[in-house]
Structure formats: structure tokens, C-alpha cells
């Protein structure tokens, strides 16, 4: 898996988990606000999607040699509604720059 | 790797990971207990919703035991047949070993029969035999027990379990596919030496699979934290010892050379 593929995987998972978390929020509001259990089934798939997200972050983070702190923060961002979209945007920007810098270093062409 | 581990940074992180793991494992266990609690509560609610019914409305002779029949409160009227009473050894009540006293109750004008668990005795001699007079018995229904597989040859008048398939062959009347945990008799025919046996308590046999899944998820997260720590520690140790860093930076340039820039 190339670094670019890892970045794409991360982007996809960040979006999926972001949406999944919004659905989970709706579920929480329904369940604890209105005693409506219509979305009870969602919590389980959300948990598994979040696990895949963690794997995606770890893959990208290890590839780009992130520090532990930022990596954990990106992972935790998947638990805060809406935050994951913004974090995904920022991470993608810096990761892309990192990958390009690396590519130009490898090919000898200045960035 | 050990030299890297024994630096303040990695020891602190180890503490953090350990704390995270402990709390995740605990959260998983908590989730599991919630699962069991929920399952019991659900059963309890279902059971509380049951109203006492005449036996014949819940179960008919020879009919299969209904799925929601266990613990259903029922009332019936008939006559005990003391001659066919039997004891079930190796039973326990409040921690003391003893015998269940089971007496067939002839119902439906003697056409049908249902075993009634009248109570518990410490000593076979205390069981007594109830007189054959009309009696109203209230209790909770229970499905029959598994066959007796014990090695011991039981004394006369004892059976290893309340095995309805055996009773069905021996008793000529139509047998109900279940027995009764007697809770009240009118008039009271059972002697005071026979202690009442409370109907079975609900146990969390079936766990809500969904909550079990949540518990598993917490444990997977804990394992993931451990994996992350080990991987990062491993990388850091390699860097320290001066060997080339891991996979990506050594392999990535190779395949990126093939891939053109497309951003």
C-alpha cells in the first residue's frame, strides 16, 4: 500500500466515521431524549467502523512517521461530532505536502 | 528496545497505555454486567406481566411446553395421589441438602395428571402423604427436567429427576408436559415439615448479544492500544540504534517513482 493509498484510505474512513458519528448522535438524542429506540442497532456497526478508522489512522501515521500525540489526537477526533471533518481536511493537507516532499526528494526534482 | 523503554518518555507512555487498557477492560466488563442486568430485567418484566391463569388455559395434557410457560403462575384444582408420590434426592434449599417432594395431582376429574413439587425435606421420613381430598393448588409452571443419568440405584420411592418421559409411561392418566412449583394450597394439605421451594430465580442465562458485542469492542480497543505502543516503541528503538527506519520510508520512494505526481 503506497502512502497515497494510505492517505485515501484515511480520507474515506474519516468521512465514513464522521457521518457514522452524526447518526450515532441522532441515536443518542432519540434514545435518551425521546425514549425512541429506533436507531439502537447503529451503535454496534459504528463501533466497528471506528475500529477501521483507527487502523487507517495508524497506517497513515506510521507511514508518515507522526509523533504519538498528534496520532492519538487524530484518532480521538473521530469521537467528536463534526470535528473529524475538519481534522480530515487538515491532516490531508499536511500529509499530502509530506508525501510530495518525499517524492521529490526521491526523484531528485525540487518541490 | 529495552534501552528505549527505560526512558522517562516511554515509561510515562507505558503508564498511560496501562491505565487506558485497565479502564477499557473494566468498561467491557461493565458493559457485560449491563447486558446481563438488561436481560434479567426484560425477563422480569415479561414475567410480571403474566397473570395467574387456570392451568388448562396455559397448557393442555400432552401438548408441548409453551415457550413463555416457564414461571407462568397457574391455578388448578384436583386431588393428590399420595401413593405415587416420589422424592428427588440431591436437591439443595438455602444451602442444605435434601429432597424434593413431588406428588401427582389428578386434575380434570381424574383424567389428567400433573406432578406438583410440594416442597423440600431434609429427611425422607418428613415428607408425609397428603390426603386424597379436593384441593386448589397455585404455583408456577416449569418444564420437565432432563433424564436421570446418575450411576446410583435409587431407593424405592425416589427418582433422580422429574423426568416427564418416564412418568408419561408409568402414569395411566394424560400427563401435562410440565410440573408445578406449588406456592399455595387451599385447604393446606402439606405438612409443616415440608418446606416450600421458591420457584426458580431468573438467571442471566441469555446475554443480550449486542451488549456482548460492545464489551468485545472495548477489549479490542485495549488490545489496539497495546499494539500501537509496541509498534511505536519498536520504531523509536530502531531509530535510536541508527538502523534504517521502518517500511514506508524505505519502500515508498520505490513505488512512488513509478507513480507520477498527480496533485
pLDDT in tens, chain A (111 residues): 788 888 889 999 999 999 999 999 888 888 888 878 777 788 888 888 998 999 999 888 888 888 888 888 888 888 888 888 898 888 888 888 888 888 888 776 654
Any domain includes B257: no
CATH number of the domain bearing residue B163: 2.40.50
- Identify from B211, B238, B261, B262 which residue to disrupt to test chain A contact, counting A C-beta atoms within 10 A and taking the largest count: B261
Residues 6+ apart with CB under 8 A from A86: none
Q: Do A2 and B259 touch (CB under 8 A)?
A: yes
Q: Are residues B89 and B30 in the same domain?
A: no
The domain of A83 spans 3-102
**What's the CA gap between A71 and A68, in Å, rounded?**
5
Any domain includes B261: no
ipTM over 0.95: no
Contacts of A51 in chain B (CB under 8 A): 217, 220-221, 224
Q: Are residues B106 and B179 in the same domain?
A: yes
Contacts of B13 in chain A (CB under 8 A): 68
Any domain includes B39: yes
Q: Are residues B81 and B152 in the same domain?
A: yes
Any domain includes B203: no
Q: Are residues B42 and B80 in the same domain?
A: no
- Here the contacts of A106-109 (C-beta below 8 Å, separation 24 or greater) are A106/B252, A106/B253, A106/B256, A106/B257, A107/B256, A107/B257
The answer to whether the peptide bond before residue A35 is cis (omega within 30 degrees of 0) is: no
> What is the number of domains present in chain B?
2
* Cβ-contact A40, B214 below 8 angstroms: no
Phi, psi of B91 (to 5 degrees): -105, 160
Angle, helix A83-107 to helix A68-77, in steps of 10 degrees: 140
Question: Distance (Å) from the C-alpha of residue B217 to the closest C-alpha of chain A?
Answer: 7
Q: Which of left, alpha, beta for B57 (phi over 0: left; psi -120 to 50: alpha)?
A: alpha
Q: What's the angle, vertex CA B222, arms to CA B219 and CA B225, rounded to 5?
A: 155
Any domain includes B193: no
Residues in A 22-51 with any Cβ partner in B closer than 8 A? 40-41, 43-44, 47-48, 51
Any domain includes A108: no
Phi, psi of B97 (to 5 degrees): -75, 150
> What is the number of domains present in chain A?
1
The domain of B10 spans 1-57+209-244
Any domain includes A70: yes
Could you report the per-residue pLDDT of B48-106, keeping only the tens digit for each? 777 889 998 889 999 999 887 888 899 999 999 999 999 999 999 988 999 999 999 99
Q: Are residues B173 and B229 in the same domain?
A: no
Residue B176, helix vs strand vs coil = strand
Name the DSSP letter for residue B157: T
Q: Are residues B126 and B40 in the same domain?
A: no
Contacts of B210 in chain A (CB under 8 A): 40-41, 43-44
Q: Are residues B86 and B181 in the same domain?
A: yes
Amino acid at each position: 500500500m503506497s502512502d497515497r493509498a494510505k492517505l485515501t484510505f484515511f480520507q474515506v474512513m474519516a468521512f465514513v466515521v464522521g457521518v457514522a458519528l452524526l447518526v450515532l448522535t441522532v441515536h443518542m438524542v432519540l434514545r435518551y431524549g425521546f425514549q425512541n429506540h429506533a436507531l439502537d442497532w447503529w451503535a454496534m456497526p459504528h463501533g466497528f467502523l471506528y475500529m477501521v478508522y483507527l487502523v487507517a489512522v495508524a497506517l497513515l501515521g506510521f507511514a508518515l512517521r507522526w509523533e504519538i500525540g498528534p496520532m492519538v489526537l487524530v484518532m480521538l477526533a473521530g469521537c467528536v461530532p463534526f470535528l473529524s471533518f475538519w481534522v480530515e481536511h487538515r491532516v490531508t493537507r499536511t500529509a499530502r505536502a509530506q508525501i510530495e516532499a518525499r517524492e521529490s526528494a526521491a526523484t531528485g526534482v525540487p518541490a | 528496545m529495552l534501552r528505549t523503554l527505560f526512558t522517562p518518555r516511554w515509561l510515562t507512555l507505558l503508564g498511560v497505555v496501562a491505565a487506558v487498557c485497565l479502564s477499557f477492560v473494566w468498561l467491557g466488563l461493565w458493559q457485560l454486567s449491563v447486558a446481563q442486568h438488561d436481560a434479567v430485567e426484560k425477563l422480569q418484566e415479561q414475567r410480571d406481566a403474566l397473570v395467574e391463569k387456570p392451568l388448562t388455559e396455559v397448557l393442555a395434557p400432552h401438548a408441548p411446553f409453551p415457550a413463555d410457560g416457564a414461571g407462568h403462575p397457574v391455578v388448578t384444582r384436583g386431588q393428590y395421589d399420595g401413593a405415587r408420590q416420589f422424592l428427588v434426592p440431591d436437591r439443595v434449599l438455602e444451602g442444605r441438602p435434601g429432597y424434593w417432594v413431588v406428588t401427582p395431582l389428578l386434575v380434570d376429574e381424574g383424567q389428567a395428571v400433573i406432578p406438583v413439587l410440594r416442597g423440600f425435606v431434609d429427611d425422607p421420613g418428613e415428607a408425609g402423604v397428603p390426603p386424597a381430598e379436593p384441593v386448589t393448588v397455585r404455583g408456577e409452571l416449569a418444564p420437565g427436567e432432563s433424564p436421570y443419568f446418575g450411576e446410583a440405584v435409587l431407593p424405592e420411592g425416589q427418582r433422580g429427576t422429574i423426568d416427564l418421559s418416564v412418568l408419561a409411561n408409568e402414569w395411566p392418566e394424560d400427563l401435562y408436559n410440565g410440573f408445578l412449583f406449588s406456592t399455595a394450597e387451599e385447604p393446606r394439605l402439606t405438612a409443616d415439615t415440608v418446606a416450600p421451594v421458591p420457584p426458580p430465580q431468573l438467571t442471566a442465562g441469555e446475554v443480550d448479544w449486542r451488549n456482548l458485542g460492545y464489551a468485545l469492542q472495548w477489549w479490542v480497543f485495549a488490545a489496539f492500544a497495546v499494539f500501537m505502543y509496541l509498534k511505536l516503541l519498536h520504531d523509536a528503538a530502531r531509530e535510536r540504534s541508527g538502523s534504517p527506519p521502518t517500511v514506508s520510508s524505505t519502500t515508498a520512494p520505490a513505488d512512488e517513482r513509478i507513480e507520477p505526481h498527480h496533485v
